[in-house]
Amino acid sequence: METPGPAVTDQLEGLRIDCLRRALDLYLAHAYPSGPPPEAVRRRIDWPADAKPSILLTHAPFERVGRENRGNSSVFALRLGNVRYPHMKLQIQPWPNDAGFMLSVNTHDQVLAIDPNSADAQAFRDLQAENQRLKEAIEAAWDQAGLPTFLSYLRRYIQDRVEGAEPGPEAPPTIGAEGEEPTPRP
């Protein structure tokens, strides 16, 4: 993870802040179902109403998760956590769809190695299972709200192929290692 800097491309200039705010509202409703999020999270989402994506995404509290190299675009993340785990993130990345971006949740719990014989091993597996459940619920809520997710992209991609639609400029995404988000092909 690195802090974004001003050299980030403008690939997400078309990101609508109202869509991002809607995604945040849905995320927070699932991650903190019994009340408002912690003060630190509320400060992270306190942006000016006229915020421009190129400015918002390139400064704290957003983080650049991936580097722009080998044709891959940066992924921007906002650490929002959940009731049990403070490190879960909302991610935004350029994507070859009508919106020009895709939203995803990174549970941010796959990087830790825990001794399977440890007294805490089962508790950690339970935490990972809850984080995965939340990820799926949040992404399903985004999908139902019409926000761009990988599932909506994949569903449209398959539907276009079944209906015999002329393939668009996008190619099917490549699937990374377990725990990684898919990346579009150049």
pLDDT in tens, the chain (186 residues): 444 444 445 567 778 888 999 999 999 999 999 999 999 999 999 998 888 888 888 889 999 986 555 556 789 999 999 999 999 999 999 887 888 889 999 999 886 677 888 898 888 889 999 999 999 999 999 999 999 998 888 888 888 888 876 555 554 454 444 445 555 544
- Flag whether 50 is in a domain: yes
Helix/strand/coil for 39:
helix
How far is residue 80's CA from residue 89's CA, in Å, rounded to a whole number? 5
Q: Which long-range contacts link 175-181 to residues 24+ away (Cβ below 8 Å)? A: 178/110, 179/107, 179/110, 181/75, 181/91, 181/93, 181/104, 181/106, 181/150
Using alpha carbons only, what angle is made at residue 45 by residues 40 and 51, rounded to the nearest 5 degrees? 145
pLDDT of residue 7: 40
Task: Please count the structural domains in the chain.
Answer: 1
The range of the structural domain enclosing residue 60 comes to 17-162
Instruction: State pTM to two decimals.
Output: 0.79
Q: Which residues pair with 37 in a beta bridge?
A: none
Contact between 15 and 49 (Cβ < 8 Å): no
Q: 76 with 57: CB under 8 angstroms?
A: yes
Residue 180 is assigned to a structural domain of this protein? no
Q: Find the farthest-apart pair of alpha carbons in the chain and give their distance in angstroms, rounded.
A: 55
- To the nearest 10°, the Cα dihedral for 12, 13, 18, 19? -30
Is residue 177 situated within a structural domain? no
Is residue 167 one of the residues assigned to a domain? no
**Residues linked to residue 69 through DSSP beta bridges, in sequence order:** 72
Residue 67 lies in a domain: yes
Using the structure block, give the residue that is written with the tokens 């190695």.
Answer: 113
DSSP result, 131-175: HHHHHHHHHHHHHHTT--BHHHHHHHHHHHHHTTPPP-S--PPBP
Residue 72 lies inside a defined structural domain of this protein: yes
d(CA 52, CA 100) in angstroms, rounded, equals 15
